[in-house]
Chains A and B, each alone.
Chain A
């Protein structure tokens, strides 16, 4: 790396080392390209938000919280475990080991592929050049042939609740807590807020969720979120809906709830009100690229913005999910290599690691109708499932949306244990154009919660073994527990 005015020639430049970026770098190396990854945190940044401060650490916390809570629940079954006590300092070390193993793995993959990683903030200066401000404060210039923009997103900030790392935290800060706060207010009951709130509540914090909309997880069908809302209630989480968070003074968060003011006790406030794409400080205008009003880069089907420039991951439209970035990466790189490709999944699944888990893929009944289709919805409760009972988690449902007449699988929506794994079956079914008959006739392992997917398919095919025949309308009543 030449430092100074002389630009180093780079064949394929990848900006950002998160899931989308590192996957693009590996693909580029596979294609025989000479790849340079520039990440704000360099080698340390590889893995991005997802591995270092998002998906993976949050799962570590959620899993530990779940174990604590479930172990306590077995007292009636004759299991007694000691008094629950949580040392989040030790958890941080545990989390660091997991994260270190994963990011180390990615780093060695990159190194093995001959991908170089450079630390620094990158700004484009010309359609084919960029300057990287290294942590040492020096400027390095790169001249690239092709570039993949994969700079990801950052937590959105509320102006009156700016994270200070102590009393007000964003999701990253929340996962770095070394001490369990006695009282927590989580602003925003989207998937991040619900996941963190649930975990902290299970570990022993007194949690309040503050949500602007009239219910938690407002983007998800209410039939799917109801079991989660009920569970939060059981865990003693206070949920304030139609509520706006105001100032945080001392240990009090002021909340405007409808037409009244509520004082929420909160040693710590976690702000989880969405994410914004990192497209504002890259000098994209110099590159000849303009984000939309939403800050997103509206790419073509092959993920390019113009010749030699592609963008993937959270900076592009669609769900801001790591697996979307992973899937876009090879498409973008192949396009830059001159191939004719397109990112065109039939469906992108999404998961909320709440309790119970929610996983959804494809169309809801309403969305199917909006597309002019005639959907059939079959809903099978988890309650009758043997494996769910042995997991002591017999709540939730499997909802299968299929097309009248053809039986084509249009959507699969699962609430319950291991929903995050079950949804893959629905994704494959949608991608392959499978029908409910196909799912019904596929042998599923017994005993697993996945059998409920087969059962829903059987019901849709008019031959439910343990369940009713299809309802012509989605019925939102849940099993009596």
Chain B
């Protein structure tokens, strides 16, 4: 028998934390090696973490909804078998508890004073040092003291340390901020997770920003620091739609459903080849621009939990049917929150297809550190002058936003001109070079 403290492994590049979605077993449960124990959600995906070996789960260190930093204890585990791989055995802390009242009329010892909360997860470590006022502030703001480095004597966490962590919590998800909503004091018993009060109609309610929504919020905060310039066009999409109809009929025979989006991606990648400054990322800390050879185009996808941007790898080298298949796969994965990290990171340009919600025009926000984004609205009938005569044509609204630190209005205009020409005359897409 050995006691193992299972810590949140690094389940992906650059992710500092994960949120506990659900415990799949209760404390006290016997589990087999590799049996899923807990579902955690990172900014990118939901992952089930398995038991490291056969044994008994003795303690769950967090409740559902808690955000835990990589490396912090998730559960304590008494291994009965072998197979404990990359986990470290630790002595198990046994929180002393006051005696239970008499049972069967047997006399009972009086309760003894015990530290109300033993050191979380494993003994041999002192309780985190912090004054009550500091603890209160940390709880209010969902900051886990155990994850902070105290600047006071003996590593005591002082108010300023918590305030600094609160400020850091607003930074983008670069691993700088790792916070948990409830400091989980070691309770001997499994307690029901503290849930915020249910909403009552007409009641003000405070809800912590968690999970994907928080990731989106951080990303948007980062996006907002980018000086945007946005250009709008309404482009004649009559030819594009005609091409789409033809291709769609052909694809259906192959059993493939083809939307307009793969054609728009193709137009974007062609335009990016001709304007490589738009397929770039900007690092202001290093004051460096990276012009990317590959065209990895992100497609913003709405999910019930929030926005996810899966990436079409090497979109410039894929055929239209190939793009369609990949978009379908990524879309399904995004909705199920099952996409691996490589499908949701490292884009070089983003497309927001807000036409799918019926939007006419919008202002897309750049997915920093990228430098540009193209948004497409819904194609509609519009009266436009054709050879000086009003005519009803199919019109596609588009908006392209660019990072003004890198791109001037003139360049943006040129890019949008190219995009317009490719959409207006889609046969040009056949002349695209690799």
Contact = CB atoms under 8 A, between A and B. Distances in A.
A318 B183 contact: no
A187 B102 CA distance: 13
Given A294-B100, A338-B196, A372-B125, A301 B110 contact: no
Interface stretch (B34-42, B129-137, B235-243, B381-389): B129-137
B139 interface: yes
A344 interface: yes
Interface stretch (A99-107, A175-183, A429-437): A429-437
23 contacts: A190-B108, A219-B99, A220-B112, A273-B107, A275-B101, A294-B100, A294-B101, A298-B191, A299-B191, A301-B183, A301-B184, A318-B97, A319-B114, A321-B111, A336-B197, A340-B142, A343-B116, A346-B117, A346-B132, A347-B115, A350-B111, A371-B126, A408-B126
B213 to A, nearest CB: 17
Given A158-B107, A301-B187, A301-B194, A433 B101 contact: no
A148 interface: no
Closest 10 A-B residue pairs measured CB to CB?
A: A372-B124, A274-B108, A156-B102, A350-B113, A190-B110, A433-B129, A273-B107, A294-B100, A300-B194, A276-B101
Interface string B166-198: 000000000000000111110111111111111
A340 B208 contact: yes
Q: Which of B101, B114, B185, B205 has the most CB of A within 10 A?
A: B101
Given A146-B197, A307-B198, A372-B125, 4 more contacts: A156-B105, A274-B110, A342-B182, A370-B94
B292 to A, nearest CB: 43
Contacts of A431: 131-132
A361 B113 CA distance: 7
A295 interface: yes
Interface string B122-157: 011111011110011001111000000000111010
A277 B101 contact: yes
A212 B109 CA distance: 9
B113 A349 contact: yes
B119 to A, nearest CB: 6
Q: How large is the interface on B (under 10, 10 to 19, 20 to 34, 35 or more residues)?
A: 35 or more
A218 interface: yes
Interface in A311-344: 317-321, 335-336, 338-344
Given A304-B194, A338-B197, A371-B118, A295 B101 contact: yes
A319 B194 CA distance: 22
A192 B110 contact: yes
Contact of B195 (A220, A304, A435): A304
B88 to A, nearest CB: 14
A299 B101 CA distance: 17
A160 B104 CA distance: 11
B181 A435 contact: no
B195 A345 contact: no
A372 B91 CA distance: 8
A394 B110 CA distance: 27
Interface of A: 145-146, 153, 156-160, 187-188, 190-192, 211-213, 217-220, 273-277, 292, 294-296, 298-302, 304-308, 317-321, 335-336, 338-350, 360-363, 367, 370-373, 403, 406, 408, 431-433, 435
B106 to A, nearest CB: 7
B28 interface: no
A336 B198 CA distance: 10
A345 B123 CA distance: 18
A366 to B, nearest CB: 10
Contacts of B200: 145
A277 B193 CA distance: 22
B126 A320 contact: no
Interface in B71-109: 91, 93-94, 96-102, 105-109
Contacts, number: 196
Interface of B: 63, 91, 93-94, 96-102, 105-119, 123-127, 129-132, 135-136, 139-142, 152-154, 156, 181-185, 187-198, 200, 204-206, 208
A362 B154 contact: no
Contacts of A317: 97-98, 187-189
Contacts of B91: 372
Given A273-B102, A372-B123, A408-B126, A335 B194 contact: yes
B102 A403 contact: no
Nearest to B203: A338
A328 to B, nearest CB: 10
B156 A340 contact: no
A348 B200 CA distance: 36
B238 to A, nearest CB: 55
Contacts of B141: 340
A306 B194 CA distance: 7
B112 A219 contact: yes
Contacts of A159: 105
Contacts of A306: 192, 195
Nearest to A295: B101
Nearest to B104: A159
Contact of B189 (A213, A292, A308, A346): A292
Contacts of A344: 116-117, 135, 139, 183, 185
A342 B185 contact: yes
Nearest to B184: A301
Given A273-B107, A435-B154, A350 B115 contact: no
B184 A308 contact: no
Given A296-B100, A338-B197, A188 B107 contact: yes
Contact of A433 (B140, B154, B191, B192): B154
B107 A340 contact: no
Contacts of B109: 190, 213, 218-219, 274
Contacts of A188: 107
Contacts of B99: 219, 274
Contacts of A321: 111
A63 B140 CA distance: 43
